[in-house]
Amino acid sequence: MAFESLSDRLSKAIRNISGQGKLTEKNMNDMLKEVRMSLLEADVNYDVVKKFVTDVKEKALGQEVMESLNPSQMVVKIVHDEIQTLLGEEDAQIHFKKQGMTTIMMVGLQGTGKTTASAKIAKYCNEKLKKRVLLVACDVVRPAAIEQLQTLGKEINVEVFSLGPEVNAVETARKALDYAKDRQKDLVIFDTAGRLHIDEALMQELSDMKSFVQPDEILLTVDAMTGQDIVTVAKDFNEQLAITGLVVTKLDGDARGGGLLSVRSITQVPVLFVSNGEKVDDLEAFHPDRMADRILGMGDVMTLVEQAQERLDMDVQEKTARRMQEGIFTFNDMLDQFGQVKKMGSIQNMMKMVPGLNKLARNMDTDVVDNEMKRSEAIIQSMTPYERDHPEVLKASRKNRIAKGSGVKVADVNKLIKQLEQMQSMTRMMSSGRMPNMSALQNMQRGGGLPGGSKHAGSKKMKKKRKKKKR
């Protein structure tokens, strides 16, 4: 995941100074040396790192911090605030016209996820902001892009305008604007052509499109995996098109994150959205303060709560909550929760947003956990309705039948029953007013008690060991 290594290094540097009774210039310099190295290794621009370290040192060695009761906490706050300054001090948003139609021109190199990002933003504006959106397929150089946008449009229930690859981009844009006005659309998003690299033909085509459309926003998609190239690409596009915002894609990959930390301070172009996956739901409005929290390992509970409110079936959650308050948790409840977890996306990403569970999440292998969950669902679906509500009746003959019906071993059925028993134990604990502590939750995860988990199921180390044994 992006920023994982940086987050570890920064946390270590801050922990070292937290152990000191008093803040001195020497231990401050030791910490800043570690911070500087961690930022450079994360591929943050050298000039940005130099200014960052200077600003932190200047503020941290100020009289107010030196004389504070807990200087280490003050240093954490200073580092957090400086990271937020790099990312942007305020949330950037699309500027919609108060009256009439707003237009957005999506630009970017081929392979950065521009077409998918166009659809994601259309879905975001349609569902969250209640805008009447029209997507326009102006990438006539690549016919597959038109088909892709049309497919995504059907998936998100947003209309797509296209005249096919035979009609040039500017003519398509002209007809699309007339079409949108006739149908009183609030927002028109133009998906433009991309190239493998910036060239004169691309920029001329985009400049012609800009001159005709006069867009209210020009959003550039950049790939988080490209590191410092984000800055180079953003500078070139900005100089020629005056872009108004960035959409950072593939933030769920192995990106070190330095490009994202550098691009705002160098180009002064704000990040509006970040994409954490390939699904149309995997788009977040960018909040600099929340991203700074994530980088420093503080989680991001606000984003997790917002996602839960948007994606979860609250009737199911309320029903399960009521039953748990009564000390009840059955296989039907477990099946409901599997469905809810799927709606939230990656379990690992969810856990990363919860302070205290960040490190536990890093040891999980998402693919293994997803497969475990599918196997568990198959087992439960092979049970009769009575068996799901009364697991105590599951004796040898029933287990054999369920194992055959779901294509697993009896041992897998026993493992799932054990998981249910552990969840029931936790439910009874909560119903009596006691909350399970972190060590109890970690023990449950190791033993397979958390939904979708099994002993070592999510452990990357165990996965490597299994591969070695096969060899």
DSSP string, 447-470: HT-STT--TTTT-HHHHHHHHHHH
DSSP letter string, 257-308: -HHHHHHHHHH-PPEEEEE-SSSTT-EEE--HHHHHHHHTT---HHHHHHHH
- Nearest CA to 239 out of 269, 216, 264, 259 is that of 269
Name the pLDDT band for 178 (thresholds 50, 70, 90).
very high
Strands, E assignment, 37-125: 102-108
Mean pLDDT score of the chain: 80
pLDDT tens digits for range 144-177: 899 999 999 999 999 999 999 899 999 999 999 9
**Residue 449 predicted with pLDDT over 50:** no
* Residue 312 DSSP symbol: S
pLDDT tens digits along 191-200: 998 877 777 8
Q: Which residue has the tokens 């038109």?
A: 146
Tokens of 149: 């946008």
| Residues whose CB falls within 8 Å of the CB of residue 464, separated by 6 or more in sequence, listed in order | none
Q: How far apart are CA 444 and CA 426, in angstroms?
A: 10
- Give the pLDDT band (50/70/90) at residue 355: low
Which two three-digit tokens encode residue 461?
A: 């180390």
Average pLDDT over residues 443-452: 46
142-146, 209-213, 360-364, 442-446: lowest mean pLDDT where?
442-446
pTM metric for this prediction: 0.65
Of 355 and 431, the one with more pLDDT: 431
Q: What is the pLDDT of residues 225-243, one digit of tens each?
A: 777 788 888 888 999 899 9
The first and second tokens of residue 257, run together, are: 């994150």
Tokens of 306: 């917002």
C-alpha closest to that of 103 among 57, 146, 136: 136
Mean pLDDT of all residues in 30-45: 84
Q: How confident is the model at residue 348 (pLDDT cuts 50, 70, 90)?
A: low
Which residues on adjacent β-strands are paired with residue 285? Answer: 273
Check whether 203 has a pLDDT greater than 90.
no
> Which tokens belong to 100?
């009439």
Q: Which of 400, 403, 395, 441 is closest to 422 using CA atoms?
A: 441
Q: Whole-angstrom Cα distance, residue 227 to residue 43?
A: 6
What average pLDDT does range 90-95 have in this prediction? Answer: 88
pLDDT tens across 96-152, in order? 998 889 999 999 988 888 999 999 999 999 998 999 999 999 998 888 899 999 999
Specify the higher pLDDT residue, 466 or 273: 273
- What residues are paired with 271 via a beta bridge? 246
Q: Which residue has the higher pLDDT, 429 or 29?
A: 29
| pLDDT value at 307 more than 80 | no
* Residue 90 DSSP SS3: coil
Of 432, 430, 434, 382, the residue nearest 407 (C-alpha): 382
At position 304, the amino acid (one-letter code) is L
- Residue whose tokens read 């997803």: 370
Cα angle 228-40-289, degrees, rounded to a multiple of 5: 80
The three-state secondary structure class of 274 is strand
